[in-house]
Structure 1
Amino acid sequence: MAAIDRINELTDLLNHYNDRYYQDAVSEISDQEFDLLLKELEKLEEANPESKRADSPTHRVGGTVTKSFEAVKHKYPMLSLSNTYSEDELREWDDRIKKGLNGEEYEYICEIKFDGISLSLTYENGILTRGVTRGDGSQGDDITTNIKTIRSLPLKISKNKNTDLSDEVWKSTFEIRGEGFMPTEVFERINQEKEDIGEATLANPRNAAAGTFKMQDSAVVASRGLDCFIYQFMSDNEPFKTHEESLIALKKQGFKVSDSWQKVKTIEEVIAYINHWSEKRHSLSCATDGIVIKINSYAQREDLGFTSKSPRWAIAYKYKAESKSTILKNVTYQVGRTGAITPVAELEPVELSMTTVRRATLHNADEIERLGIAIGDKVFVEKAGEIIPKITGVDASFIRNADDREANKVIFPTACPACATTLVRAEGEAAYYCPNEALCPPQIKGRVEHFIQRKAMNIDSLGEGKIEILMNNDIIKDAADLYKLRSEDILGIEKTHVDEVTGKERKISFKEKTVQNILDGIEKSKEQPFSKVLFGMGIRFVGETTAQKLASYFKTMENLKKATVEELLQVPDVGEKVAISVISYFKEPVNQIFVEKLENSGLKMEAENIVLELEGNSLDGKTFLYTGTFEGYSREELEQKIEANGGKLVSGVSKKLDFLIVGEGAGPSKLKKAETLGVKMISEEEFTGLINQI
């Protein structure tokens, strides 16, 4: 079969599987089978870039780097809606609708207002050709490569699934409006990953979505699992008479339309809908902030018209951020595995957004100073982005004795609450840190918990409670000591563990079966690859992905330990902050001993692909970068060829680059920079010649 035929076959097949999964919730093949077909398609497209289709599913995984986003003028302005927080104002708006329609009967469509960013999507002849942000309403940024990573969004409308619409509707040029958002579970996962590497967490899902959609690397965007709810169809030749018809047709055609919308006839039914979703909305998969109410009939919309800023036929009811007051009982200070000190407010339990809130973040010392809180205050608590509880202020109506309040003022500590070491604060950072990495108990415990987690060494037979018992009994002092455990060391130990979040007690017993499971899990963890070991070591700012890249680039722990800042900066996506952190880690004697203990325990200290068949040393000491596609090599094969002949692959064009290998469709920015810096550019044939030179 010709390559182009196979590309077309795989594209159609994978799009079919995607459609079945995201539209019908049906998995026709396993994830592994899907991934294998996708990888086959990626390789074929790399070798035949001219045959890659606009609706190729490989767009979903990203890979395009955009240096800047072009400003695009909207064909149909993206107007904002009038907002209200009041039911009475809604009734007044309804009176204006009645007056504007001269007594005609009318219907409303009520829709959940998802808290993301507005997107405009253009389709031409059934193909998604452009995705643009709202911007200022008249123009926005072209983020098409990032939009295409949204898996629930059709890249191509393959056939008309609406029997009462002509094929021309979906073959014409039309625009779709939608709300791009970050699902709650993705937001929470990213924040957990940021905690893992000692970085500040994201404030709320909306800001996280906005920032992600504007990232330059679409591969990173793809990894974040953004999604989009569609709510509007726009065309010069409007095929629908009502908004209801358009939502039903869009849903049938494979667009993700929320099932939460409802058609009603009166403003009282609108208010009933608002009240129905007031609490229920918290159970949805993403953040929400209100309800949008629109006239159903398009003809009546025309009659009502627009103001200079917004349509008269629509309004947004905004839910007030639920805020309740409760007593601040105490402020505790958590010490993370990287030494970061996080203040946490301990509260009298209060019901908020369908959950019982007992604790709330206070972020950092600056936030405590801004709030001016004291123990015993009555404070207002909200959920940031409907997810994270936070204190927003002091309830001034709760009168306290001024002297008593001053005596109980919350002041951020100057010493570590766990080991009394003086805290430090790096320039430009909000958090204070305990520098006593070697002896601070919570840091040591946190590093062990990090080491055993699924993304690292995956010792699932252990957990926070068991780790605490092992450390409190001086059975282990660091994660490396796990590999010295014997059955007789832990058999029979019992203790009641109190969960920090729920406050619930549970008894932990090291019985024979439990002990065997622990020892088996520890032994099995020795099979984890070098990149997992590296991530598990807990180097600050080195997350799972960065650990993989470091392992792939340096190949061995020994090479990484000896790496200079300059060498580290050659690794893709490794910046100065990460490079300095890695250097600092390996300089510490306690870390040197820890790594040696891991190595002596039999953990993998070399990447899986360390053994390359050495072809020669013709490229010895030379650095290479490539751009475009090549006839004789896939990207992976080219990288292996460079390494097998003594060369080194780098991540960007700089004065220290020896050769830029230029293929078909080479990136103009790389070519321009190489020319400016005087970097030698060679063809695929010239590269082969370098390898074969004697």
Structure 2
Amino acid sequence: MTNEQYQEKIKLLKKWAHAYYVEDNPIASDEEYDRLYHEVLDYETENPADVAEDSPTKRVGGIVRDEFSKAKHIKRMWSMEDVFDRNEVVEWLERVEKNIGECEYFCEPKFDGASMNLLYEDGKLVRAITRGDGVVGEEVTDNVRTIRSVPLSIDYKGLIEIRGEVVIRKDDFEQINEERLEAGESLFANPRNAAAGSLRQLDSSITAKRRLVFYPWGLGENTLEHRKLSEKMDYVYTLGFLEPPFAQDCKGIDEIEAFYRMLIEKRDEIPMMMDGMVLKVDEVAKQEELGYTVKFPKWMCAYKFPAVEKVTQINAITLQVGRTGVVTPVAEIEPVNIEGAMVSRATLHNFDEIERKDIHIGDSVIIIRSGDVIPKIIKVLEERRDGSEMIVTRPTVCPTCNSELLDEGTLIKCQNLHCPDRVINSIIHFARKGCMNIDGLGSKIVELLVKEGIIKDILDLYFIKYEDLEHLEGFKEKRINNLIGAIQATKGVPLYRLLNAMGIEHIGEVASKALALEFGLDIVDATFDTVVALDGIGEEMANSLLEFMRVNHDFVLQLFETIEPTVEEKVEAEENPFKSKTVVLTGSMSVSRGIIKEMLEKLGAKVSGSVSKKTDYVVYGEDAGSKLTKAESLGVKTLTEDEMRQML
């Protein structure tokens, strides 16, 4: 076979695959496809230097990574504002049209999967990045190359980011779970979890077997000149991408509502899981005119589908111990299928709710589940009781470590930091961003380290040695050194970050800063009166802190000795207009709001996240959202960033 013949056969293979996977209209038999595929593969085996970048043989995966690297989106991937009924949609439309006048809206299904950003350059797929925090995600290009509905090359030479949802069709999801059941593996909870889990496989050949599908829904960086988003998406579909089964341009609430109702009716017919409809201003210039809030584009929202209700029976009540020691009751229910997901558990939140709803073991109940929301019990069918039901009693000892529980009424807590159920979650919390920020110490690694007996609490992290990790699968020299280095680099962090990382119930970052500044390392011996005297610290917070320090007194001292946190000296702020004032920040400013927050706190201000009548000032920048509106309605003094700086 010549190279020219090889290129022609690749072109034919791609044509057949596109007809099968994208158009759902096969134009060749499986036997013909397999025969041609192996002819191409044989040529590539003999001529490895000539293998085409977009060869269909690259779809099988086989690349194994140690870990995923981080990658930055060229343009931010935003979240969407949720609306839940016709009235909320009307309010959203009124806000939009108040600013840009009457307009057309582009409506399409909201598939329930994992968001993905594909970057093409010079017609080639060069990078695939998960949504992450919207700015930075995980680079999963090797895995995405195995998805048949993602073109490896497109007929467009510019730089373009194509955003969409990676999903698993409902029938494929059921088949995957059947295969996992036969293999003795744990089952995926729903198609969305299966899609997300498949994308994060370190071995891309596993991803290739998962039958993932990619549906584009938007664009990031691009130079397309179409006036409307719907026109841009029509062009994207011509590049070889899947088109959603339904999409429509709508004007006004009646047309929007009619399309929404049609999608609900078609819900069971559409092979992918849907949890709502996406509503977007279609004209690109008007999108740019509307702009963004801190969290969402002002020109799009998700009109969520109604929650699905099912009747089932409570077979048992089990107890879960969270990272802060809170004991949460969970209803083990008779398994019931809700939108393709087999649900066997429902949250009960706390024992007060059990008592308020008069829930018994053995009760028939109505449960609801909406989109990502964990199923919950909304009603007990008391008329179905036959006398065999059992009353649920409040626990007095921890179900895991048998320590005496602290019963605060609404919350029941295990305060033992060495409780096995607390250990993994407390270490995950300790390492996360905003706490100790230990890069590379994700939840899977924590679970592995605890399972292998390498660590049993957060203190053990600081005594991990190279030889403790070198026998673990996937841990090579660079990865081990990076992890140990990241852990050791947290020594000397500000005390408030360490307090926040301990996961003390009711004590967050703001409270941790106040406590660290007031008590320093003497926080372990603080008294109720001195703690509750601090501004913003209530009795419940004080009791939680003191009980935590009582139970873990010596352990906390060991942490202080090992980590040697930096203790900030308390300096009384000089008189200024913001001293002892409550300030709220909103909108985009000349520097990050974190820098302005730190500056105001040094001036003696309390920076809050929400506006109330007690707020003294709301300082706002560009694209300020609902906080500014609320401040104006409450008569709270508002300041631009420049006005704030002039006051200083």
- Shorter-normalised TM-score: what interval? 0.5 to 0.7
CA distance in 2, matches of 1:351, 1:120: 31
Q: Could you tell me how far 1:151 is from its partner in structure 2? A: 0.6
Give the equivalent residue in structure 1 for 2:283: 297
Q: Which amino acid aligns with 1:392?
A: K
Once the two structures are superposed, what CA deviation does each residue of 1:274-301 show, in whole Å capped at 9, x if it has no partner?
A: 2222242232111111111001111111
- 1:36/1:148 Cα in 2 relative to 1: closer, same or farther (>3 Å)? same
Give the equivalent residue in structure 1 for 2:65: 66
CA distance in 2, matches of 1:148, 1:351: 32
Once the two structures are superposed, what CA deviation does each residue of 1:326-358 show, in whole Å capped at 9, x if it has no partner?
A: 463979xxxxxxxxxxx99569xx9976x9x9x
CA distance in 1, matches of 2:218, 2:266: 24
- 1:112/1:26 Cα in 2 relative to 1: closer, same or farther (>3 Å)? closer
CA distance in 1, matches of 2:362, 2:390: 11
Query: Matched residue of 1:238: which SS?
Result: coil
CA distance in 2, matches of 1:391, 1:82: 22
Give the equivalent residue in structure 2 for 1:93: 92
Determine which structure has more spread, i.e. the larger CA radius of gyration: 1
Matches within 5 A, 1:87-126: 87-101=86-100, 103=101, 105-126=102-123
CA distance in 2, matches of 1:351, 1:221: 26
Q: Residue 366 of structure 2 contacts residue 380 of structure 2 at CA under 8 Å; is this kept in 1?
A: no
Q: Could you tell me how far 1:33 is from its partner in structure 2? A: 2.3
Once the two structures are superposed, what CA deviation does each residue of 1:312-334 show, in whole Å capped at 9, x if it has no partner?
A: 1111112243124x463979xxx
Matches within 5 A, 1:186-585: 186-324=172-310, 326=311, 328=313, 361=344, 374=360, 377-382=363-368, 392-393=376-377, 395-396=379-380, 398=382, 405-406=389-390
CA distance in 2, matches of 1:14, 1:135: 34
Give the equivalent residue in structure 2 for 1:612: none
TM-score (structure 1 length as normaliser): 0.50
CA distance in 2, matches of 1:405, 1:671: 58
Q: Could you tell me how far 1:218 is from its partner in structure 2? A: 0.9
Give the equivalent residue in structure 2 for 1:661: none
- 1:116/1:351 Cα in 2 relative to 1: closer, same or farther (>3 Å)? closer
Matches within 5 A, 1:131-210: 131-157=128-154, 159=155, 170-210=156-196
- 1:302/1:361 Cα in 2 relative to 1: closer, same or farther (>3 Å)? closer
Query: Matched residue of 2:150: which SS?
Result: coil
Q: Residue 13 of structure 2 contacts residue 33 of structure 2 at CA under 8 Å; is this kept in 1?
A: yes
Q: Could you tell me how far 1:200 is from its partner in structure 2? A: 2.5
Q: Could you tell me how far 1:208 is from its partner in structure 2? A: 1.2
Q: Could you tell me how far 1:257 is from its partner in structure 2? A: 1.7
Q: CA RMSD in A?
A: 4.5
Query: Matched residue of 2:125: which SS?
Result: strand
- 1:36/1:402 Cα in 2 relative to 1: closer, same or farther (>3 Å)? closer
Q: Which amino acid aligns with 1:43?
A: D
Q: Residue 377 of structure 1 contacts residue 394 of structure 1 at CA under 8 Å; is this kept in 2?
A: no
Between the aligned residues of both structures, percent identity stands at 34
CA distance in 2, matches of 1:397, 1:346: 15
Q: Could you tell me how far 1:401 is from its partner in structure 2? A: 8.6
Query: Matched residue of 2:120: which SS?
Result: strand
Matches within 5 A, 1:538-687: none
Q: Could you tell me how far 1:263 is from its partner in structure 2? A: 0.6
Q: Could you tell me how far 1:134 is from its partner in structure 2? A: 0.7
Q: Residue 360 of structure 2 contacts residue 390 of structure 2 at CA under 8 Å; is this kept in 1?
A: yes
Give the equivalent residue in structure 2 for 1:547: none
Structure 2 residue runs without a partner (length 5+): 317-330, 394-419, 422-447, 449-469, 481-648
Query: Matched residue of 1:395: which SS?
Result: strand
Query: Matched residue of 1:302: which SS?
Result: helix
Give the equivalent residue in structure 2 for 1:130: 127
Q: Could you tell me how far 1:171 is from its partner in structure 2? A: 1.6
Give the equivalent residue in structure 1 for 2:581: none
CA distance in 2, matches of 1:109, 1:14: 34
Query: Matched residue of 2:116: which SS?
Result: strand
Q: Could you tell me how far 1:194 is from its partner in structure 2? A: 2.0
Q: Which amino acid aligns with 1:110?
A: C
Q: Could you tell me how far 1:132 is from its partner in structure 2? A: 0.8
Once the two structures are superposed, what CA deviation does each residue of 1:497-521 show, in whole Å capped at 9, x if it has no partner?
A: xxxxxxxxxxxxxxxxxxxxxxxxx
Give the equivalent residue in structure 1 for 2:35: 36
- 1:55/1:91 Cα in 2 relative to 1: closer, same or farther (>3 Å)? same
- 1:69/1:7 Cα in 2 relative to 1: closer, same or farther (>3 Å)? farther
- 1:298/1:223 Cα in 2 relative to 1: closer, same or farther (>3 Å)? same
Q: Could you tell me how far 1:385 is from its partner in structure 2? A: 6.6
Structure 1 residue runs without a partner (length 5+): 160-169, 332-342, 410-427, 430-574, 576-653, 656-666, 674-694
Q: Which amino acid aligns with 2:34?
A: D
Give the equivalent residue in structure 1 for 2:322: none
Q: Which amino acid aligns with 1:393?
A: I
Give the equivalent residue in structure 2 for 1:563: none
Give the equivalent residue in structure 2 for 1:617: none
Q: Which amino acid aligns with 2:232?
A: S
CA distance in 1, matches of 2:370, 2:305: 13
CA distance in 1, matches of 2:374, 2:291: 41
CA distance in 2, matches of 1:49, 1:144: 21
